[in-house]
């Protein structure tokens, strides 16, 4: 295993047990192939956290490496991709098309894809997770991604939820990245639901952060009402890579 990734996995697995997620839950981090954990990917796709579903932990926290991007390769639905996988697939299909490609799976396999909060839960209101676990888990996620950004920083970060986008924006500003302007909220076409756009620079380097609403709930990539927003965001991502 990639030595740098192995150290990150060891840290997550240790913290999973330390915080007591191991009996009720488990941990997962990288959803893309191991070789994406490197300076090469210009694009990161960062989810919120693993969905626990109805399964239970086994007293261990061991992260399994993926050979292909889990958003298209793993079976999260019943005999078909679940709603989140379908939306993420649609995003990458549009990105691949915008770039003149014809293989969205290859683009997904080249994108660093991971969880911001690496511990599986049923959501932020999960009754099995107490407030102290949440606080320590979120603080650890901040520490975790700071360690990753000690190694490399991409050109574009796409996140599930504006919350995760805001955290990356804060981490970068601590690293002396300067916001080009205030975050911009963009109407998605899904009622009052918005995406959020951050732009920062550090010398000649630039980074774009886009926080989409969580695509498991807000299916903006298959809604005609959201076509204009989707097209704008896809073009913005492509132009920033």
What does CATH list as the number for 28-50+66-119+145-240?
Answer: 3.40.470
Mean pLDDT value of segment 118-128: 76
**Can you tell me the distance from the alpha carbon of 14 to that of 1, in angstroms, rounded to the nearest whole number?**
18
- The pLDDT assigned to 206 comes to 97
Each residue's pLDDT tens digit, 147-195: 999 999 999 999 999 999 999 999 999 999 999 989 999 999 999 999 9
pLDDT at 142 over 90: yes
Q: Does the global pTM surpass 0.85?
A: yes
> In what helix (H) or strand (E) does residue 70 lie, and over which residues does it extend?
helix 70-73
What are the sequence ranges of the domains in the chain?
A: 28-50+66-119+145-240
Which tens digit of pLDDT belongs to each residue from 192-217? 999 999 999 999 999 999 999 999 99
Beta bridge partners of 67: none
pLDDT of residue 57: 56
């Amino acid at each position: 295993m990639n030595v740098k990734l192995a150290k990150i996995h060891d840290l997550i697995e240790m913290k999973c047990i330390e915080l007591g997620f191991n009996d009720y839950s488990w941990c997962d981090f990288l959803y893309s192939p191991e070789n994406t954990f490197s300076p090469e990917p210009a694009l990161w796709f960062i989810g919120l956290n693993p969905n626990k579903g109805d399964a239970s932990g086994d007293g261990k926290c061991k992260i399994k490496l993926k050979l292909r991007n889990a958003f298209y390769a793993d079976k999260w639905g019943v005999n078909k991709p679940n709603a989140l996988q379908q939306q993420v697939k649609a995003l990458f299909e549009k990105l691949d098309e915008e770039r003149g490609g014809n293989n969205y799976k290859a683009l997904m396999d080249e994108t660093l894809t991971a969880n911001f909060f690496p511990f599986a839960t049923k959501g932020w209101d999960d009754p099995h997770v107490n407030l102290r676990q949440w606080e320590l888990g979120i603080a650890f996620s901040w520490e975790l991604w700071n360690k990753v950004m000690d190694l490399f920083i991409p050109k574009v970060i796409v996140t599930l939820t504006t919350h995760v986008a805001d955290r990356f924006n804060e981490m970068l500003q601590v690293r002396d990245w300067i916001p080009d302007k205030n975050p911009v909220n963009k109407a998605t076409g899904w009622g009052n639901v918005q995406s959020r756009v951050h732009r920062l620079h550090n010398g000649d380097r630039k980074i774009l952060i886009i926080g989409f609403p969580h695509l498991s709930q807000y299916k903006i990539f298959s809604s005609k009402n959201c076509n204009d927003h989707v097209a704008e965001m896809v073009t913005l991502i492509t132009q920033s890579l």
